[in-house]
A and B are shown apart, each in its own frame.
Chain A
């Protein structure tokens, strides 16, 4: 099969499944809906795998599917760009999606709306594929918005909960702020290049690189910097970077399989993917790169701290997602695109694994999510515990696990970068290593080790113990645990140093940080073996050890520490007050709206018009009644009464000379104006 046809199958299979399951969700039994969606996703996965190996073998595709808008010289097409970057994303998306589909069979088994759920996740998969496979900015935006919509629907899936509804709306609105930046960036590209096709834009970018435009009064700004920063604002919302990160922790209101698929592995990495995809533009603007670097580093550090004080198992994982996304963004800012995508890949596996393990724990705990009421679960849920351990080791970056390779390379790349802000970024990321290891193992120990505290959890009868989840849930855990453990070892060489990405990613010569770290890379084995020579290793170890000390050996110490560090803990528990700030802003905006409506519209505008109308009526009524009210009453209203029936009664009610008075006055006014105009014309034409 040709690559083009194969590529069409990839998004269309899950899309068709979503349409079938969605439109018929009240007709077909859950088994069929589930099966159709899993099948659609499996087809997409197999096709993606074939595409991936074709691309590995050197194939590529860049072509249109159909013309969306063609007008004169303007041509906006939908199409696919299949290269190493997109084929890798396709593989990751379809694989994680497939495991989540299977997992959801077990996780959602008691839910009445399971058909709708499967329709949504299949639709999400299709949208995400449309996004990553696009060869142009407008289709990227299509996919971007579509995944946002599905995310909205899934966060609010349990819409009976007010918190879920609020979280869904919040996610949508915050993402719309990002979309605002993205569409303006895309628009600037369009008006300056006249095309939205990636390849053409990148070709033209070098010519545009010197272009400036007046953004603030007379001072000229670099067009490319503005474009890149606007595009990145879109990425900041989607990939939850400070200050547009607030929606992601709340998105945990959605069912856990969604948190794994959308809010950890795939959708939130769309921003990372997009920046890597348009790397030829970012490479031309050091300002934009520096901005990206600082935002990413700040997010990684600040969000990591929040993971330490959080007590909800899903939210801990969510904050770790935020922090890891910050790592990827920082790598993008350092021009280490391949390192960012590498970390994206390993993160997709181990974070999906952690979420699904958390979901398994939540089901086992009868939907208790507070880690303080867990403990000792290893004994009752051995498979889940093992999976969570693999995920934690990978997330903390313990040698040989996938996260080790990607995070280590990423940190080295940022350290080697010369972009302004790299020093700060390097410091943040190193601090983050300790923080990550600490909160990850804090969670792991609190949940799976230590004293059994689940008698305090709701839904537990005295003496009842948690039970391991069914195979449909544990099987995907195993499926994900394998790459979480091993993929770093096998992928680091080709992805970072083996030219896997070919020309899919551009790096300017003076930004070639990945090449710099290649200088002291030999083999993955060697890299892991020599890691104790680096500070990163010891920071990781310190994090794990501190967690073990505080939560296994001295379980009373954390509470004591907490009460000592009052202000700090308060700031962290209030998440740096971002939510309060935004709420105040939102309330303020609504008050402005109310003011404009009730005061300006109603009082000022309508008041003025009514006053003017009263004046006119006063004059008009007098004049009109003195001419003749009776004629109109007799002929006009009486006549229409026979014709239109009810209308007449209505008209008569208006017939206290008011409307007629207005009309008379207006016509008189028109005549006056026309006469005045006649007189001012020296040579008027007459018919």
Chain B
């Protein structure tokens, strides 16, 4: 086994899918089925790589594991440095699994250029893993920017009728954010004495004013990705236009980059500013939960509804992370951050499943309008059972993964401020209202739309994908301990950084 663990596993997690993606592109003229086989093999390999990554992961240390480092751009002291810790590992695994799901799914689409479609997801997957594994700021930035391109193409080429505007706004919003990120990174590079090493950035002292500026740059950059109000309007649009696979990756992985950025950069690098401005993030999180929840209530398009619900769920992530910063002494603060992280993983599974379900309906009737459905349970009983499970997960039902994250975040928020917790917990009611409204109208009742009268229930492939996602959410919901074990020590370390004063 040691032989396996000595491999550059992080590099493999990044470059295997990318290589597979490029190979698929190159092979696409040879034969569609051949390219398809390569794409599937690449996605499966991507998942297999994460197995030794998890098996060999030491949950007792906070230091980076599976570390690789070699000089990259000597001019900037930038290194090709990779590694994983408890915070990044779950996302590398999630990303690889979701990519497999998407690649499996894509075969069901009769859309144009299936090989290029698969390739885009494989490239995306590798780049995302790069973001989660990078230990060097420059490297992180390159992956962060590069990952925009495949998603941009996925929406722009394979999207719906208004895909151009949606892709355009998607790239514009995120580009604006990432350029601020670049400014912050260059500033940190200079402050750290010419180092792009993220570990160095964690250690270096930064005065308060600079911290505030850097924090605000991070807030804009990661806030767009998350997305946070009022930078959120690109997301529902992108989701509506994106093909099913694009929506899944966007919700499951791309949104997590923002929250990951907060945890990896904002909290430990500019902790004083993060603490001083935690009220701002908490306030924006509550806006996400309450305001966005109400907006979701008014939606008539299923994808838009789930898109808004995603924003609300991401509000819980930022709330957990930043309320924990300010939590009192009696409460174990790591629980707030752990809750936020579990919420991220959980949302990755549940939102993917929700978009998958909506995609399955869309494939059959070519409508995403709630009003076009009704009585689906009569024609698709198995589907309806799965959709029920995921709808319940979407509203944080105990036994599903969302409950674990939400309850820990609510507990952390209670320690922060009772009214904040109350506002956040309103999601119990509002979330249930919009999710059940959709479920009830789509699934129950009589079949009124003739397009629905002779649709088939889930096929074997859909059944497999839905079962996999169902298993994921139930496993974490009923037995979250293995995930917590992975997170725990790294979160401890993170909060140690985040609670120490850093300025001169």
Contact = CB atoms under 8 A, between A and B. Distances in A.
Interface stretch (A155-163, A407-415, A455-463, A571-579): A155-163
A604 to B, nearest CB: 9
Contact of A142 (B296, B335, B399, B410): B399
Interface string A173-194: 1001101100110011011101
A454 to B, nearest CB: 30
Interface stretch (A334-342, A352-360, A592-600): A592-600
Interface in B60-78: 75-77
Interface string B429-457: 10011001100100011100000000000
B291 A685 contact: no
A71 B332 contact: yes
Contacts of A188: 414, 418
Interface in A647-687: 647, 650-651, 653-654, 658-659, 662-663, 666-667, 669-670, 673-674, 677, 681, 684-687
Contacts of A533: none
Contacts of A172: 432, 436
Nearest to A605: B230
Contacts of A69: 404, 408, 480-481, 484
A415 to B, nearest CB: 37
A677 B428 contact: no
Contacts of B335: 71, 74
Contact of B436 (A73, A173, A647): A173
A583 to B, nearest CB: 13
Interface string A244-264: 000000000000000000000
B233 A601 contact: yes
A156 B428 contact: no
A628 B449 CA distance: 53
A70 interface: yes
Interface string B385-407: 00000001000011100001001
B233 A670 contact: no
B426 interface: yes
Contacts of A662: 172, 175
A173 B397 contact: no
B297 A645 contact: no
Interface string B163-199: 1100110011001100100110011001101100000
A475 B164 CA distance: 68
Contacts of A596: 291, 294-295, 298
B22 to A, nearest CB: 10
Contacts of A162: 445
A593 B190 contact: no
Contacts of A142: 398-399
Contact of B156 (A156, A643, A650, A670): A650
B125 to A, nearest CB: 17
Given A74-B335, A684-B190, A180 B172 contact: no
Contact of B428 (A146, A176, A613, A686): A176
A197 interface: no
B411 interface: yes
Tier of interface size on chain B: 35 or more
B193 to A, nearest CB: 5
A25 to B, nearest CB: 8
Given A71-B338, A597-B299, A670 B182 contact: yes
Contact of B480 (A68, A169, A177): A68
A346 to B, nearest CB: 31
Contacts of B408: 69
Given A191-B411, A601-B233, A176 B291 contact: no
B421 interface: yes
Contact of A644 (B153, B176, B414, B436): B153
A593 B414 contact: no
B175 A26 contact: no
Contact of B331 (A191, A659, A666, A677): A191
Contacts of A160: 445-446
A378 B480 CA distance: 57
B330 A187 contact: no
A497 interface: no
B498 interface: no
A653 B164 contact: yes
Contacts of A141: 398
Contacts of B76: 687
A289 to B, nearest CB: 22
Contacts of B428: 176, 179-180, 183
A149 interface: yes
A645 B113 contact: yes
B432 A184 contact: no
B444 A156 contact: yes
A534 interface: no
Contact of A72 (B112, B334, B397): B334
Contacts of B136: none
B445 A159 contact: yes
Nearest to A25: B381
Given A142-B398, A666-B175, A187 B421 contact: yes
B157 interface: yes
B119 to A, nearest CB: 9
A236 B170 CA distance: 46
Interface in B4-63: 25
B433 A669 contact: no
Please list the 5 inter-chain residue pairs (A to B) with the smallest Cβ-Cβ separation, ordered nearest first: A593-B294, A159-B444, A593-B298, A593-B297, A594-B298
Given A149-B397, A601-B233, 13 more contacts: A141-B398, A159-B444, A159-B445, A165-B444, A172-B432, A184-B425, A589-B297, A597-B295, A606-B233, A646-B113, A650-B157, A666-B176, A681-B190
6 contacts: A142-B398, A173-B432, A180-B428, A596-B298, A647-B153, A684-B190
Interface of A: 26, 66-74, 138, 141-142, 145-146, 149, 156, 159-160, 162, 165, 168-169, 172-173, 176-177, 179-180, 183-184, 187-188, 190-192, 194, 213, 215, 589-590, 592-594, 596-598, 601-602, 605-606, 609, 613, 643-647, 650-651, 653-654, 658-659, 662-663, 666-667, 669-670, 673-674, 677, 681, 684-687
